[in-house]
Amino acid sequence: MAKIQYPNPKFWKAKDNINWKKQGENLKEVLGIFGGMLKETDWQQFGKDMANVLKADGERIKGEYADFMALDKDEKIDRIINGERSLGRLYRKGAMATVRREWRGIKDTAYDFWEWARMWGMLLMTFSKDLIPAMNSALWYRWMISYFCCHGFMDKNILGLRGSNLRMSHEVTYQIFRYVAENLVLLSKADRKNGNSDELNKMMFTFDEMTMGQIACGFPDLCAIPHQLLPMFLVSEIDQLVCIPYIDAVESFGLPSDTCPVPSSECGALVINALPDMGSLFISSSMPCDGSTMASSYFSRRFPNTPVFHLCFPVRYMDEETVQMGAEDIKACIKKIEEVTGAKWNWDHYFECMKRFNQETDLELQKWEINKSAYPQFIGPSYELFRKWNYEMDGGSDPRVVPSMEKVNKMLLKAYENKETAWPARKMRYRAIVWSCPAHYYANFSNWLANCWGINVLVEMESLNFTKHLETEDKEEALRDLARLYERMVMRRHTNGGYQNVVDECWRQVEAWNAPLVIMYQNVACKNMATVQGMLDEQGRQRGYDLIWVEHDLMDPRTVSRRTMRDKVNEYMRTVKHAEPVDPSLVEFEDEVCM
Amino acid sequence: MKDLKHLIYFESLLENADNELVKKAQADGGIALGYTCFHIPEVLLNVDNCFSTRLRAPNTGSIDIATYYMSNYTCEYARALLERAIEGGYQFLDALIGVDACSMMNRSMEHFEILQVNDKPNFFVTHCDMPFKITDYTLDGYERQMQVRVLDRLHEVFGVDVSDAAIRKAVEEHNEVCRIISEIREMRKKANPVITGYEFHILNLVTYVCPKALILPYLRETLEELKHRRPDRKSPFRARVAIVGSEIDDPNLTKLIEDVGALVVSDRYCFGSTPGREVIELKDDEPALRQICLHYMQVSECARYISDEKVLQRRETSDRLAKEFGAEGIIYEQMKYCDYWGFERALVSHIMSEEYGWPVLSIDRLYNNGNSGQLRTRVQAFVESLEIKRIHKEEGKK
């Protein structure tokens, strides 16, 4: 079998068909908006605000200098070599970003800067493959603007990290961002409002962001993009405020505000035409939950010319009686893709990717083994996000990922042998797991837990998915395995198919990870989890575990702010655990608009 | 109009899940099978000596304990059932036939098991997986679930005869109920019908909650009575509306709507007569179970069905019913916190208005609505808007 390059070079080579007249009209509209904004700006106030920022910066620098000078010699050396300790001073009220980058000590700051530059290099190289549609996307979609802050996201996720954990986090973040950048370019190329590449659209199918990407492994000649992942879900983790206009749009349209912000944002973006129009087929999904199921009607309404295949898996997935139905649906989906695109399912390529995916699963399990030990090494939001992306979206399709994971695991084992601690500047005080719909990316929460209270989140519920090796020889069994995998997708494995998967499983994991502290994220709009709240509370209490309930509303911080989330932990730690914070500067700070 | 002879009796049957006829059937050796969702073919729960009773929680007051378990932003119907179960209100059930169709109802039923709300030694709860679309393989899956999760369990636990012949017998009885209700429903098409929406709601509800054999004599008599009933000379209603949406088992909602002047002529909602009271036509040369499963898949109007043809079917059915029953507007409703109908209502209430040209009132509501002043005001305003439209139309004609 001839080696197939990833991503397929013909996707990049597909010819654009930009309608310049339409672009001109859009540009005129955007300039009109900018003009209006400039006209309405109170420049006097703006000047005052800028002066205040400069003044605040001056005072901060003075304060930091004074604090440093007040340290004794050893402490000064420690700060220079190991970095700063009071991270709360990086935040300022009203600022959209931290006031400066973190000082991590000479070696780690230099390394961090290298990674910062490497990331920029990759982004520039990738976007240069077809720059104009990608840049134009920023004029069509406000969510695209938030991607300009992706370095801020990287910084946020590695706040307080040093040594091996920092290096491993950078490595996996790079993998995710490369995927994002490549797909943003392809998305912009294909978008009929923008690059309008007929050639690419014929080769492209899109799928629901909550659907796993493995099915695309059987179609190496096709470009498969999760339709809403980049415009909604992922970007909201970079900028928690980005989905608010979409949520507002759909609620104005009539959707009740008690629904999950994920499908609400998707539907809102569809209502106001803020999603790209691309691909020759859309694969919708009944997963992970009731709200997501319904979003496909909104898609059909917005893009009536794009055929939709509804991939629907049984909910009672532990019941083996249901597996065949899932496998049959996958077959039907493959057939539909073949019909619409003319491409043919390629078993050889699929098996090759699944072998890679199995290898990736093994590498993941190695991380779990280390993190379950007394010396967990690779923890924090970068790892958690990578696990999700790798499991759900990459799924063995990109051959560049395995070497990267091997590199990470090499560092991991070395760090374990050296008995490094995941957060060197701090003492690991509590071992914790995260349960329920995670909010730590939006709120940079697991990072904050470690930096502020020494709570080390070893694993989160959504990482603990399917670890069985997928079949790579028998075709019928391979489809059944694929169905089993899809049924255990992120956000579904625990919340569907019976309470045992989320309640009993929680206690099992607490034991397995030796983590009697559970951060119980409580997404106020998630009915699957809300309906077991009492049970979890009752059984957790009976078992003597510390359950810290943290309400949140995913990408809608207006319902529960990040500060309110932190307060729940602060209160619990002070009143129940009688603990002192590791970094008191992080107990109370303002970050309402900070990405 | 003269009061219906059995109306007060029917109302009394709706006062408790464990009503007089349920007690009588159990005393005669009947096996009471509770269920809530249309996805469970009702007729399968009426085989042999079993009888189905669709669960309601009438006169629900506080649901604090259920709220502790299921939180306060989940479906009130699901919570009300759990609360009633904890109170002991479903102790009479011999089994609960559940579906994993919507997560909140599924969790409610799981709590029946975990909290052991029923201490009958053979009591069981079963959870069935439901399809999202109609294809050969989803029909296979559905049929298999009904066989394994429902019929086999009934046979294993209670020794129930679940043969093809027993199923066909249950279908016959079921069809008689459906024919009577359908005939009564047809009467609502008249300009000045002999039955109000409230009365029909009561009649239809008792067919869901009572053993079929025991309610049938009353239904037959009521049908005859209606055939000879004289309507008021002038209809007291100011407008005619169709209701479309999620579960309504509270006849007081229909009463509230009719009290402000809107005659409810069509009930396309869960617990309503569409779907639910369609006759099941069985062929002799195919197993009854498969035909029944296909029937329920086809007539279902549940928003959970995701495929394009079912999405369109729901819109077309609403339009067809509203036209056939002479409605002037459609009330799209959803139980608060219902995700399926929340998304469906928001979108389709626009579509029915913009594409189908119907005046639409779009509401979300609680489980019990009889005293909702806010809802009353909204319906009043809708009735007035319908009247104004009618006046404008008439003026236009002139």
Q: Which residue has the tokens 């220079």?
A: A80
Calculate how close chain A gets to B319, using CA atoms only, in Å: 18
DSSP one-letter string for A232-288: IIIHHHH-TTTTHHHHHHHHHHT--TTS-HHHHHHHHHHHTT-S----S-EEEE--S
The pLDDT tens digits for A323-359 are: 999 999 999 999 999 999 999 999 999 999 999 999 9
Q: What percent of chain A has pLDDT over 70?
A: 99
Distance from CA of A519 to the nearest CA of B (A): 18
Chain B residue with minimum CA distance to A534: B69
pLDDT of residue A2: 65
Nearest Cα residue in chain B from A259: B339
Instruction: Give dist(CA A458, CA A529) in Å, integer.
Output: 21
Residue contact B100–A312, C-beta within 8 A? no
- Chain A CB contacts of B344 under 8 Å are 294, 297
CA distance A516 to A510: 6
The span from the CA of A281 to the CA of A340, in Å, is: 7
Is B145 in contact with A324 (Cβ distance < 8 A)? Answer: no
Say yes or no: B78 contacts chain A, CB-CB below 8 A.
yes
Q: How far apart are CA A87 and CA A453, in angstroms?
A: 12
pLDDT on residue A5? 85
A328 touches chain B (CB under 8 A): yes
Q: From the CB of residue B234, how many other CB atoms can be counted at a distance below 10 Å?
A: 7
Give B107→chain A minimum CA distance, Å. Answer: 6
Q: Sort out which chain B residues have CB atoms less than 8 A from A308's CB and list them.
A: 308
Average pLDDT over residues A241-268: 95
Q: Is A254 on the interface with B (CB under 8 A)?
A: yes
Cα-based distances in Å from A35 to A26, A40, A393, B30 = 14, 9, 40, 77
Tell me the average pLDDT of chain B: 96
The answer for A210, left when phi > 0, alpha when psi is -120 to 50, beta otherwise, is alpha
**A528 vs B75, B103, B128: nearest CB:** B103
pLDDT value at position B113? 95
Answer yes or no: is pLDDT of B137 > 90: yes
Q: In angstroms, rounded to a whole number, what is the distance separating the alpha carbons of residues B173 and A492?
A: 41
CB < 8 Å to A496, chain B: 100, 103
Average pLDDT in the B238-259 region? 96
Beta-carbon separation of A534 and B71 below 8 A: yes
Q: How confident is the model at residue A422 (pLDDT cuts 50, 70, 90)?
A: confident
B52/B171 Cα distance (integer angstroms)? 13
| Residue where the block lists tokens 């990072």 | A447
- Residue-level pLDDT at A426: 67
B340 within 8 A of B102, measured Cβ to Cβ: yes
Answer whether residue B398 shows pLDDT above 60.
Answer: no
Q: Which residues of A touch B138 (CB under 8 A)?
A: 312, 325, 329
Concatenating the DSSP letter of every residue in B264-287 gives: EEEEEETTSSTTT-------TTS-
pLDDT for B308 beyond 60: yes
The helix/strand/coil state of B97 is strand
Mean predicted confidence (pLDDT) in B361-389: 92
Closest-CA residue of B relative to A327 is: B137
Mean pLDDT of A84-106: 91
pLDDT confidence of residue A590: 87
Distance CA A457, CA A519 (A): 8
Using the predicted structure, report yes or no on whether residue B296 has a pLDDT greater than 90: yes
What DSSP line would sit under B203-221, residue for residue?
HHHHHHHS-HHHHHHHHHH
Q: Which one is predicted more confidently, B44 or B370?
A: B44
Distance from CA of A528 to the nearest CA of B (A): 6
What pLDDT digit, counting tens, does each position of B256-288 carry? 999 999 999 999 999 999 999 999 999 999 999
Residue A3: its pLDDT value, please? 72
* CA B53 vs CA A107, A334, B163, B165: distances in Å: 72, 42, 21, 22
Kindly determine whether residue A324 and residue B111, on different chains, have CB atoms separated by under 8 Å.
no
A271-290 exposure pattern, b = at least 16 Cβ within 10 A, e = fewer: beebbbbbbbbbbbbbbbbb
Chain B nearest-CA distance from A250, in A, is 8
Query: Around B98, how many Cα atoms within 13 Å sit in the side-chain half-sphere?
Result: 25
DSSP A500-534: GGTHHHHHHHHHHTT--EEEEEEETT-HHHHTTHH
Whether A325 and B137 lie within 8 Å, measured CB to CB? yes
Q: Is A255 on the interface with B (CB under 8 A)?
A: yes
- Opening angle at CA A117, ends A116 and A120, nearest 5: 90
Please answer whether residues A439 and A565 qualify as being in contact, where contact means their C-beta atoms are separated by less than 8 angstroms: yes
The shortest CB-CB distance from A296 to any of B131, B306, B345 is to B306
Residue A283 contacts B where some CB pair is shorter than 8 Å: no
What pLDDT does A295 receive?
Answer: 85
A561 and chain B: CB distance < 8 Å anywhere? no
Q: Would an 8 Å CB–CB cutoff place A539 in contact with chain B?
A: no
In this predicted structure, the answer to whether residue A1 has a pLDDT above a threshold of 60 is no
A27 near A207, Cβ under 8 Å? no
State the Cα–Cα distance between residues A310 and A421, nearest whole angstrom.
Answer: 46
pLDDT single digits (tens) A113-131: 999 999 999 999 999 999 9
Q: Mutate one of B64, B143, B347 to test the A interface: name it (highest A CB count within 10 A).
A: B347
Q: In what order do the strands lie in the sheet with A308-311?
A: A223-226, A204-207, A282-285, A308-311
Angle, CA B193 vertex, CA B191 and CA B197 arms, to 5°? 115
Mean pLDDT of all residues in B94-114: 96
A530·B74 Cβ contact <8 A: yes
What is chain B's alpha carbon radius of gyration, rounded to the nearest angstrom?
Answer: 21
Cα separation, B330 vs A183, whole angstroms: 44
Q: Are A16 and A196 in contact (CB under 8 A)?
A: yes
- A320 CB burial (10 A radius; 0-12, 13-18, 19+): exposed
Nearest chain B alpha carbon to A261: B339
CATH level 3 topology of B19-165 = Rossmann fold (3.40.50)
A47-82 per-position pLDDT tens digit: 999 999 999 999 999 999 999 999 999 999 999 999
- Measure in Å the smallest separation between the Cα of A578 and chain B Cα atoms: 27
In whole angstroms, give the CA distance from residue A289 to residue A280. Answer: 26
Substitution target in A286, A325, A531 with the highest count of B β-carbons within 10 Å is A531
Looking up tokens 């730590």 gives: A440
Inform me whether the C-beta atom of residue B152 falls under 8 Å from chain A C-beta atoms.
no
- Residue B278 backbone dihedrals phi, psi, to 5 degrees: -90, 140
Whether pLDDT at B131 is above 90? yes
Q: Look at A324 and B131 and tell me if their CB atoms are within 8 Å.
A: no
Report residue B175's pLDDT band, with 50, 70 and 90 as the boundaries: very high
State phi, psi for B2 to the nearest 5 degrees. Answer: -70, 140
**Residue percentage of chain B with pLDDT more than 90:** 95
For A312-320, what is the mean pLDDT? 93
Q: Residue with structure tokens 């923008």?
A: A194
Q: Where are the alpha helices (DSSP H) in A128-234?
A: 131-140, 142-146, 150-157, 163-190, 198-202
Position B142 confidence tier, pLDDT thresholds 50, 70, 90: very high
For the residues B302-328, what does the mean pLDDT come to? 96
Say which of A258, A325, A528 has its CB closest to residue B138.
A325
Per-residue pLDDT tens digits for B190-237: 999 999 999 999 999 999 999 999 999 999 999 999 999 999 999 999
Q: Do B306 and A312 touch (CB under 8 A)?
A: yes
Across A402-427, average pLDDT = 91
Task: Report pLDDT for A425.
Answer: 62
Give B-chain residues touching A530 at CB under 8 angstroms.
70-71, 73-74
Instruction: Report d(CA A533, CA B71) in Å as an integer.
Output: 7
**With an 8 Å Cβ cutoff, are B337 and A289 in contact?**
no
Buried/exposed A25-53: b ≥16 CB within 10 Å, e otherwise: ebeeeeeeeeeeeeeeeeeeeeeeeeeee
Of B70, B148, B349, the CB nearest to A531: B70
Q: How many CB atoms lie within 10 A of CB A115?
A: 20
Q: Is B344 in CB contact (< 8 Å) with chain A? A: yes
Confirm or reject contact between A535 and chain B (CB < 8 A).
yes
| Minimal C-alpha gap between A295 and chain B (Å) | 7
Burial A345-376 (b: 16+ CB within 10 A, else e): bbeebbbbbbebbbbbbebbebbbebbeeeeb
Single-letter code of the amino acid located at B371: N
Residues 6+ apart with CB under 8 A from A103: A79, A83, A84, A109
Residues of B in contact with A248 (CB under 8 A): none
Interface A-B: count of C-beta contacts within 8 A:
158
Please name the residue of chain A whose CA is at the shortest distance from the CA of residue B307. A310
For residue B118, give the 3-state DSSP assignment. Answer: coil
Min Cα–Cα distance to chain B from A516, Å? 22
What is the reported pLDDT for B397?
A: 65
Q: List the single best residue of A325, A507, A551 to mutate versus B (max B Cβ within 10 A).
A: A325
Q: What is the ipTM of this complex?
A: 0.94
- HSE value, Cβ hemisphere, 13 Å, CA-based, for B207: 30
User: Which one, of A148, A152, A128, A126, lies nearest residue A138 by Cα?
Assistant: A148
Q: Which residues in chain A touch residue B306, judged by CB atoms under 8 angstroms apart?
A: 284, 286, 293-294, 296, 310, 312
CB-based contact, B326 to chain A, within 8 Å: no
Q: Which two tokens stand for residue A537?
A: 């509370």
| B128 reaches A (C-beta below 8 A) | yes
Element (H, E) at A327: helix A323-341
Task: Give A264→chain B minimum CA distance, Å.
Answer: 9
pLDDT of residue A443: 83
Residue window 329-358, chain A: list those with CB within 8 Å of chain B.
329, 332
Cα torsion for A441, A572, A159, A245, to the nearest 10°? 30
For residue A497, count CB atoms less than 10 angstroms from its CB and return exposed for 0-12, middle for 13-18, buried for 19 or more. Answer: buried
Residues of chain B with Cβ-Cβ distance to A319 below 8 Å are 129
Residue B155 in contact with residue B162, Cβ under 8 Å? yes
Strands of the sheet containing B95-99, edge to edge, are B50-54, B31-35, B95-99, B124-128
What is the residue extent of each domain of chain B? 19-165
